[in-house]
Amino acid sequence: MKNIIGNIFASVTSLFQQRIPRIDLKDKNTKKRLIVGALILVVVVVVLARTITNLQGVIFKKKPKEAKAPAVTFEESASPVKAFRVKKTDFRDTLPCLGTVKGYREVNLKFQVAGVIESFNFEEGEKIQEGDIIASLDQRDALLKLKYAEVELKKNQQLYDIGAINAIKLEQAKLEYESAKSDLDKTNIYAMSNGMLGTREKDVGSYVTPSDSNDKIGVFVAIDKVYAEFNVIEKDVPKVSVGQKVDVFSDAYPTKSFSGTIDRLAPIIEGKSRTEVLKVELDNKEGILKPGMFLRALVYTYEKKDALVIPSSAMKKKETEYFVYVINKEEPKKKEIKEKPETEQKKKFSLFGGKTKKDKAEEAKPEIKEKEAEFGIVEIRKIKVGYTTQDLVEVEEGLKEDELIITEVQEEFKDKASVEIVEVQEGLV
C-alpha cells in the first residue's frame, strides 16, 4: 500500500517538475501558490489512499462463515374449539299436537217410537237446560192409549174393591196404564243435562222411525266441560301418559290459553296415519270453546328442576357408552412483545415544530386491549345420560356445574390434547 502511495507521489512530483519551470522562492505570490498547491496535493493523496483501501477491503474480503441452520422442531398446535359452560336449569320437554274440540257429552237425538215430528223447540247453538223438551212427535194416538188405559185401571180398581175380580186382573190394568204412559213419554226427547243443540238434521213434519240408524234429528252437546282431542304419531306414543299437563291454544282466542291434563288414551293405534288418540278435559263454563274448533297443544312430556343439561352436539357415543370432552383451563401464555425500530418510535413533528393533527388524533383514541387467548387441556370423560331430546341431553352423572366442555364436536380429540377456546356459550338459549 505504501509503495502505491509513493509511486503516486513521485509521479505527481515529476509532473510538477516537468510542467512548472524554475520559480523564484523570494516572491511572496509564488510562495502562496506553492502552499495552496501543496495542500491540494495532500487532499488528493488522502482521498486516493482511502479509495484504494476500500477497494482492497472489497477485493480481499473474507467470506463469512455460513451459519448453521437451526434444528427443526414440530410443536403440536392448539385446535380452536367452542366451549359450553355446564349449568343447572329447569329442564322441560314438550310435544306439539293438533286437534279439535269435542263435546264432553255428545248424544245423537233419536225418538224411540215412530211418528211425525210435531215440534222442534231449539235451534242450532241454543243453550238447553236439563229436563227441557227438545222435540216432540204427534201425540194424539199416544194420548188416546193413555186415556183408555187410565179408564180401564179405574174400572178394574172398583171391581177389585167389591171382589168382582182378583188381584192379578187389577195388576194387569196397572201395567197397561204404565205402558201407555211410557209410550207418551217416548214421543218427547228430554235434555239429560245442561248443554246446547249441536246440529239439527230434521224439521217439523218429518217422519222418523227408530229402526233406521241414520234417522237422527240432531246432536245434543254438553258444553260446561269439553274434550280437546288430539292425534299422536306412533314414534311419540311412548312419551305420553295419562295425567300429563297440557296447554291448549285456539286460533279464535289468540290471547287465551286453556290448561288441562290427559284424561284418556286410546288403547289402540288407528288409521293409516298410525296415530293414537288422546283426550284432554277442559273447563268451559263460559262456553267459548265450541265443538269442531281447531286447537293446538303442547304436551309436557318431561319436567325436572335443577337438571344438568348440555347440547346434544357436545356428546359422543361409542358403542353403548357416552362421553364428552372436558376442558381443563391453562394459565394464559405470555406473548413476546417486539420493540419497534427507533425510526417508528420517533414522533412526527410539523414544519413549525410540535405534533401533527394526525398524531394528536391517534393519541386521543382509546387504547384497545387485545383479548388474551385462552387455552386448555382435553379430558375424555364418560357420562350417564338421562332424558334426551333432539337438541338437549340431561346428564345424570359425570359432570359438575361450571365445568367447560367442547361443543359442536366435529372431530375426535385425544386425551390431554391442547385446545384454544375461541368462544364460551353460557346458556342453552
pLDDT digits (tens, 9 = 90+) for 151-166: 999 999 998 888 888 8
Average pLDDT (202-206) is 90
The ranges assigned to domains in the chain are 2-59, 82-88+307-335+350-425, 99-218, 229-300
Q: How far apart are CA 202 and CA 152, in angstroms?
A: 37
pLDDT for position 187: 92
Q: What is the pLDDT of residue 352?
A: 45
What pLDDT is recorded for position 350?
47
Higher pLDDT, 382 or 46: 382
Q: Return the higher-pLDDT residue of 46 and 69.
A: 46
More confident residue, 273 or 147: 147
CATH 2.170.150.70 for domain 99-218: no
Mean pLDDT of 225-231: 91
Higher-scoring residue by pLDDT: 326, 50: 326
pLDDT computed for residue 357 by the predictor: 58
Give the separation between CA 324 and CA 400, rounded to whole angstroms. Answer: 12
Q: How far apart are CA 132 and CA 190, in angstroms?
A: 6
Helix (H, G, I), strand (E, B) or coil at 223: strand
* 110/187 Cα distance (integer angstroms): 10
For residue 150, what pLDDT is reported? 92
- The least confident of 4-18, 132-146, 414-428 is 4-18
Q: What angle do CA 328, 333, 336 make, to 5 degrees?
A: 170
d(CA 353, CA 9): 52
pLDDT-derived band at 330 (thresholds 50, 70, 90) equals: confident
Is the CB of residue 292 less than 8 Å from the CB of residue 341?
no
The rounded distance, in Å, linking the Cα atoms of 131 and 113 is 19
> What pLDDT does residue 412 have?
84
Matching residue, cell 357408552: 321
Q: How far apart are CA 40 and CA 48, in angstroms?
A: 12
Q: For all residues of the chain together, what is the average pLDDT? A: 80
Kindly indicate the confidence band of residue 343, based on its pLDDT and cuts at 50, 70 and 90: very low
C-alpha cell at position 227: 274434550
pLDDT bracket for residue 298 (50, 70, 90): very high
pLDDT over 60 at 346, yes or no: no
18 vs 349: which has the higher pLDDT: 18
Output phi, psi for 318, to 5 deg: -135, 110
Question: How many other CB atoms are found less than 10 A from the CB of residue 237?
Answer: 16
pLDDT band for 176, please (50, 70, 90 cuts): very high
Question: Do strands 79-85 and 418-425 pair parallel, antiparallel, or not at all (unpaired)?
Answer: parallel
Cα dist. 345→82, 238, 340, 342, 422 in Å?
Answer: 39, 73, 6, 5, 33
Phi–psi pair at 135, nearest 5 degrees: -155, 160
Distance CA 314, CA 410 (A): 9
pLDDT exceeding 90 applies to what percent of the chain? 31
Taken in order 266, 270, 275, 279, the sign of the CA dihedral is: negative
**Cβ(315)–Cβ(222) below 8 Å:** no
Using 50, 70 and 90 to split pLDDT, how confident is the model at 1?
A: low
| pLDDT band at residue 284 using 50, 70 and 90 as cut-offs | confident
Summarised one tens digit per residue, pLDDT across range 64-120 is: 555 555 544 444 578 898 999 999 999 999 999 999 998 888 888 999 889 999 999
Domain 229-300 fold is Elongation Factor Tu (Ef-tu); domain 3 (2.40.30)
pLDDT of res. 3:
60
3-state secondary structure of 51: helix
The C-alpha atoms of residue 309 and residue 89 are separated, in whole angstroms, by 7
Tens-digit pLDDT profile for residues 5-37 = 556 556 555 555 555 555 555 556 666 666 767
Cell 267459548 found at: 288
Which residues, other chains included, contact 346 with Cβ-Cβ below 8 Å and sequence gap of 6+?
Answer: none
Best CA proximity match to 126, nearest among 195, 177, 42: 195
Which pLDDT value is given to residue 31?
61
**Strands 133-137 and 88-109, how do they pair?**
unpaired
Residues 6+ apart with CB under 8 A from 48: 5, 8
| Residue closest to 316 by CA, chosen among 229, 364, 381 | 381
Separation CA 419–CA 410 (nearest Å): 14
Band (354; pLDDT cuts 50, 70, 90): low
Q: Is-same-fold flag (82-88+307-335+350-425; 229-300)?
A: no
Asked if 122 and 204 touch (Cβ cutoff 8 Å), the reply is no
- CA-CA distance, 27 to 13, in Å (whole number)? 21
CB atoms within 10 A of CB 215: 17
- From the candidate CATH numbers 2.60.40.2470, 3.30.360.10, 3.90.110.10, 2.40.420.20, the one assigned to the domain spanning 82-88+307-335+350-425: 2.40.420.20
Q: What is the pLDDT of residue 272?
A: 76
